[in-house]
Amino acid sequence: MTLARRSLAVFLFIVASVNTSLVNAQITEDIRAVESSIVKIYTTQAAPDYFTPWRLLTPSQSSGSGSVIVGNRILTNAHVVADASYVQVQKHNDANRYTARVTFVSHSSDLALVTVDDPTFFSDLEPLDIGEMPGAQEEVYVFGYPMGGRTLSITKGILSRVEQQVYAHSGDFLLAGQIDAAINPGNSGGPVIVDKRIVGVVMQANSGGRAENLGYFVPPDIIQHVLTDAEDGVYDGFPDLGFRTQDLESPAAKNAYGLSETQTGVLVIKVFEDSPAFGILQENDVVTKIAGYAVAGDSTITVNPELQTNYKYAIDLRQIGDSIEIEFSRNGKAMTKQLVAQKRQQSYSLVKQEAFDEIPEYYIYGGVLFVPLNMNLIMRWGPDWNRTAPVALLQARSEWSSPEKRELVVALQVLASDVNLGYHDLRNWVVDTVNGEPIRDFKQFTRKLRDNAESHVVFRNGSGYQVVVDHQQALATEASILNQYRIPTAHSEGLFDE
């Protein structure tokens, strides 16, 4: 190599080194600018025990992460503060813990807002802005306080894909981003950062042990939806138009429902009463467009060149009261209608999804503990609940609710006494009728017992098996049964409030 070439090579190396140093310096400066806005959240949680619903489970302590945003608010995960009885927040490089309170929760999207009333807490903190969804393969930084240490952790990764995912906390099917940055317990609620802006909130890592360094975050669209919802302090949630569909990719099925070879859409299999779609859509209609997006046979829409996801995304972006245009085909005839986005019904299934920050409902009659069936109860059978919970309760998850049957009632256990002699072994028994009257929901069921004028109450399940209780004896022994089993009241607080 000639002297001139060697000199040029040295010069290029020096220039490259300087440029790299400048980039690293910029990255370090950006990181330092964000660090002070990341906080650690300490939570004491006391969830109710759905096996004995008048009690709380043993309190537990956990921690998560959060980021300061405008309005003296801290953005974090809902599961970080779910069922919280006491919350504290700690700033970066500050040994003090400040008492905090939860101001808004969206369990559906696993997001929550927390604040600190101490006026000095936010005085030296710079709020972070919400950015845009990063592009595919774009580099991101994850900030948080994961297990294994007490100081702030920063990891780097790339955005690998964006699509609808089942959120582990709520079971809802919403848009999520996937990254390869390391995410561990304690990272929950921490921000995903690009250019000093929040482009996501870490919510869950891959489960099952089949992949490493694989995590998911709540993307900016969902964050902005929740922040808009929080403006009036009243939780509305994500809208639901009240219909369910299945993929329509089979050429034979498309032909049977009047679609041409070039047309695409999804088949309507259920329309719920008292929903925006009721009276407009019918079963066996084919939805071809939602909010201007063409719906493919696999239930996806193309939002932009980088995002193809489930059509539900077009609905999730809307707020309650917004109008959503829907195009569909009925027996080959194209139709267009406007649906008004409404709040989701309490449950479209006979089994209500897992709830948080709520008092369980129960009613003790004749020494029998009656409860409504919900996922909180089913999940009380432990981490392997889908195999250990009673089959009859699990099967109910696949049944739709209706105005005539909104909820199932379970005789969970019997508090043994003379009034229920002969039924002491009764467990996890689904009640179908009371004195021959079908059960609509738990409130109707409990009012039926409270207002009963018959001498006996006959409970019957779907197979015809009966449990008979003497009504006057049930009333006369209520106090003694409660005292014997150290139960404070015969029913949950507010059960009979109108």
Residues that are catalytic: 79, 110, 188
Are 268 and 285 in contact, with CB atoms under 8 Å apart?
yes
Torsion of CA 26, 31, 34, 36, to 10 degrees: -120
Euclidean distance between CA atoms 374 and 393, whole angstroms = 9
Closest CA to 342 of 405, 273, 442, 440: 273
94: number of CA atoms within 13 Å, CB side? 19
Are 490 and 496 in contact, with CB atoms under 8 Å apart?
no
User: Which pair of structure tokens corresponds to residue 317?
Assistant: 């972006």
Euclidean distance between CA atoms 375 and 358, whole angstroms = 13
Closest CA to 366 of 426, 406, 428, 407: 426
Closest CA to 275 of 345, 378, 223: 345
Q: Which residues, including other chains, have CB under 8 Å from residue 82's CB and lie 6 or more apart?
A: 45, 47, 105, 107, 169, 356, 357
Euclidean distance between CA atoms 471 and 7, whole angstroms = 102
